[in-house]
Amino acid sequence: MDNTTKNSISKLSEVKTETRRQFIGNLSTGLGALALGSMIGCDFSSSSKTSSPESLYKLPNFVPSAKRVIYLHMAGAPSQLELFDYKPQLVKYNGMDCPKELMEGKRFAFLRGIPKLMGPYVTSFKQYGESGAWVSNHMPHVAEMADDICFLKAMHTNEFNHAPAQLFMHTGSPRLGRPSIGSWVTYGLGSENENLPGFIVLASGGKTPDAGKSVWGSGFLPSVYQGVQCRSQGDPVLYVSDPRGMDRPLKGKVIQTINEINNESFEHLNDPEIKTRIDQYEMAFKMQVSVPEAMDISKEPESIRQMYGAEPGESSFANNCLLARRLIEKGVRFVQLFHWGWDSHGIDEQLSLNHGFVKECKSTDKPIAALLQDLKQRGLLEDTLVVWGGEFGRTPMQEVRSDATFLGRDHHLEAFTIWMAGGGAKPGITYGETDDIGYYGVKNKVHVHDFHATMLHLLGFDHEKFTYPYQGRNFRLTDVEGKVVSDVIA
């Protein structure tokens, strides 16, 4: 880094301290703190005295191509073999015994002995767009967007159980207690909109992810950065609505009184924390309006709602996709969607490839395509990174449970498909290949750590420099591994 930039940084940090002094001195406005907050990338937090200077001042290491993220997590792990990873050979091998060596020394959740290979449960697999990406008949709408999508077909992970694998996918560690990607990103880039949390979570499919809220937890990062789950029934954010005994003006008056008295004790005690609390009460008051407003899709024109297939009031993936766009538009940094229902073991109707799986495809295909299309026409896709994927893949072998009429595949960590769109990811390419039956990645394999490194790179962060000091060690999302996959960066 040459001198001028060095200076500029020190200058900017002067600005920081400047603002700090100002807002401590100046009692009339609470915005000083928020301005400072957003500049230093943590709108909501006061500078808790224990937090290190880094945590107060994070900016991208270089110019990011993605400034926002929508992460569509398909909890339960959809089968890549039924969607994107076209394996004509597997059709031939259908019903044959799985080669022994593929089972030896491998760990599966449920498969025992020698299972049989199973051909993909599809009616057709076609190539789409100029890029000629393969997509099955299960996702016709997404197929139409193929030229905007960057498929990673040789993903692999370390975990073959839902909870650890989801944690690994979202925090870079299969154990609990690490910050999620969303927390890292908000910690790094902060939130643009002062009236909304920087990291919002929307769940559908009737169940939160197996690993629970830790998947959007802030781990050892200050709790400010943890994902705020917004709900489609009840309060959109917990405790956001006034008690029945109060209305807005009265609540306003209550907060005003609180702040008057807090100012008084601030004058008396000079404790900066009091100043921050005053700002936070202002923010809370604003959020009570802004969050419900942002979460109200009835404000969208009918045409758009039809495009997504969204129905106000119900808790559906379609609604969440539409919400995701609304929130991104309003400057939310990271929107995390969870959709559960892909764990197609062949146990029952829901968890089978020939029923539940098809249903889930139907309910997600159109909204996803709509989301991409909508972001595109609004000029948002250029700097919004959209990610789609599960926590691992599914085996080319069939898993036979009590009732064989339900087709199923077991968890598989050697190969699965994830795709990205927008945010500087190279559009219309397919990166990585698996072998004839889609068991191993054979070309351009991408490990979860590499994927994280690449995401961070798109967001302007060098995954090796982007760290947080905790318990005497500098922690990173990619732990001690991960390399950026430059071939998928536009």
Partner 1 sequence: MANWQKFLLVIGVLSSLAIALYFGLMPTEKVDFNTDIRPIVNKNCIACHGGVKQNGGLSFLFREDALSTETESGLQAIIPGDPENSELMKRLVHHDAEIRMPLEKDPLSKDEIELIRKWIKQGAEWQDHWAFIKPVKITPPATTFESYVRNDVDRFILEKLERINLSPSREADKETLLRRVSLDIIGYPLAAEDQNVFLKDTSEDAYEKLVDRLLASPQYGEKWTSLWLDLARYADSKGYEKDMKRSMWPYRDWIIRSLNDDMPYDQFITEQLAGDLLPTPSPKQIIATAFHRNTMSNDEGGTNDEEFRTASIIDRVNTTFDVFQGITMGCAQCHSHPYEPIRHQEYYRFMSYFNNTVDADLPSDFPLYSDLYTPENSDHADSIIRYVEQLTGEKYFRKTDNTFVKRRKFLLPLLEAEDSDDYNYGVQNSTGINWTEDGLYKDGLTYVLYKNIPIHDYNSVTIRYRSATGKSIIECRLDSVNGLSIGEVTLRFTNGKFANVQMPLKSVEGSHHVYFVLSNDLNDHHNQGPADFDWFRLNHKNEKSINPPLLVLQEELRKIPRLKMPVQKELPKSLQRSNFVFVRGNFLTKGEAVEPGIPGIYKIQHNSAAENRLGVAEWLTSKDNPLTARVAVNRIWEQLFGYGLVETLEDFGSQGSKPSHAELLDWLAVKFMVDYNWSTKKLIKEIVCSATYRQSSTTSPEALSKDFRNVYLSHFTRTRLTAEQIRDQALAVSGLMTTKMYGPPVMPYQPEGIWQVVYSGDEWKTSSGEDQHRRSVYTHWRRTSPYPSSLSFDAMSREVCATRRIRTNTPLQALVLLNDTVYVESAIALAQKVNSSVKLPAEKITLAYKTALGKMPTAKTLHSLVNLYNESLLFYKNNPTRIAAMTSGDTKTPEVAALSAVSNAILNLDDFLTKP
Partner 2 sequence: MASIAKKYKTKILLLGEMIHRFKAITFRYVLPILICFLEASHSAHAQGIEPEEVWNWKIFFGRFHPLVVHLPIGFLLLACVAGILGKYQPFKSLKKITRLLLMLGVISTVLAIVPGYLLSLSVEYDSTILDRHFWLGISVGVVSIIAWFSTTKVETSTRKFHSHFNIVLLVTLAILVMLTGHNGGALTHGSTYLTEYMPDGAKKLIGIKVVERVKPQPITNLNEAVLYRDIIHPILEKKCASCHNATKKKGQLILSNPEGIKAGGKSRKTIVPGKPEESELYKRLLLPEREKKRMPPEGKSELEEFEIEILHWWIKEGASFDTKIALMNADATVKDMLTKFIPSIKTSGIFAKQISIPDPASILRLRAEGIHIIPVAANLNYLEVDFINSKGITARDAKNMLLLKDQITYLKLSNQILTDSIMQHIGKLKNLTRLDLNNTNITDQGIVALQHLENLEYLNLHTTGITDDGLITLYKLKNLKSIYAWETNVTDQGLSSFLKINPSVKITR
Residue 394 beta carbon to partner 2: minimum distance, rounded to whole angstroms? 32
Residue 1 binds which entry of partner 1, partner 2, none, with Cβ cut-offs from 5 to 8 Å by kind? partner 2
We find the least distance from the C-beta atom of residue 39 to partner 2, in angstroms, to be: 5
Q: Which does 281 bind (CB under 5 to 8 A by kind): partner 2, partner 1, none?
A: partner 1
Binding at 25: pick from partner 2, partner 1, none (beta carbon under 5-8 Å per type): none
Q: Is 367 left (phi over 0), alpha (psi -120 to 50) or beta?
A: alpha
* Minimum CB distance to partner 1, residue 237 (Å): 7
| Cα distance between residue 272 and residue 25, in whole Å | 10
How many CA atoms lie less than 13 Å away from 357 in the CB half-sphere? Answer: 28
CB closer to partner 2, 12 vs 347 = 12
Nearer to partner 2, 38 or 166 (CB): 38
Alpha carbon distances (Å) from 454 to 68, 87, 166, 451, 490 = 14, 27, 18, 5, 12
Smallest separation, CB 295 to partner 2 (Å): 17
Q: Quick one: 20 or 345, whose CB is closer to partner 2? A: 20
CA distance 151 to 418: 6
In sequence order, what are the residues at sequence separation of 6 or more whose Cβ sits closer than 8 angstroms to the Cβ of residue 112? Answer: none
CB of 15 to partner 2, least distance (A): 4
CA angle (393, 420, 225) in 5-degree steps? 95
User: Could you tell me the smallest distance in angstroms from the CB atom of residue 303 to partner 2?
Assistant: 11
Q: CA-to-CA distance for 327 and 306, rounded, in angstroms?
A: 19
What does 430 bind: partner 2, partner 1, none (CB cut-off 5 to 8 Å by kind)? Answer: none
Q: What 3 state SS string does 367-400 have? A: HHHHHHHHHHHCCCHHHEEEEEECCCEEEEEECC
> Rounded to the nearest whole angstrom, what is the least distance from the CB of residue 331 to partner 2 in the complex?
5
User: Alpha helix locations (H) across 199-347?
Assistant: 248-269, 272-294, 302-308, 317-329
Pairing of strands 393-398, 467-470: unpaired
Closer CB to partner 1, residue 11 or residue 207?
Answer: 207
- Find the shortest distance in angstroms from Cβ 260 to partner 2: 22
Residue 2 burial class via C-beta count within 10 angstroms: exposed 0-12, middle 13-18, buried 19 and up: exposed
Three-class SS state of 468: strand
Of 132, 59, 155, 148, which Cα lies nearest the Cα of 454?
155
Q: What is the spatial distance between Cα 240 and Cα 287, in angstroms, rounded to a whole number? A: 8
* Nearest residue (CB) to partner 1, 285 versus 388: 285
The answer to whether 200 touches 327, Cβ cutoff 8 Å, is yes
- Kindly tell me which of 259 and 434 has the beta carbon lying closer to partner 1: 259
| 207 interface partner picked from partner 1, partner 2, none, CB below 5 to 8 A per type | partner 1
Instruction: Kindly state the DSSP code that residue 221 receives in the 8-state scheme.
Output: S
> Which residues are near partner 2 by CB under 8 A?
1-2, 4-5, 7-9, 11-12, 14-15, 18-19, 22, 29, 31-32, 34-36, 38-39, 41, 59-65, 190, 192-195, 330-331, 376-379, 382, 457, 460, 462, 484, 486-487
Q: Is beta strand 446-447 parallel, antiparallel or unpaired with respect to 441-443?
A: unpaired
Terminus-to-terminus CA distance in the chain, angstroms? 25
Distance in Å, CB of 369 to partner 1, minimum: 28
The distance of closest approach from Cβ of residue 215 to partner 1 in the complex, given in angstroms and rounded to an integer, is 10
486 binds, among partner 2, partner 1, none (CB under 5 to 8 A by kind): partner 2
Report the DSSP beta bridge partners of residue 28.
none
Amino acid of residue 192: E
* Residue 276 interacting partner from partner 2, partner 1, none (CB closer than 5 to 8 Å by kind): partner 1
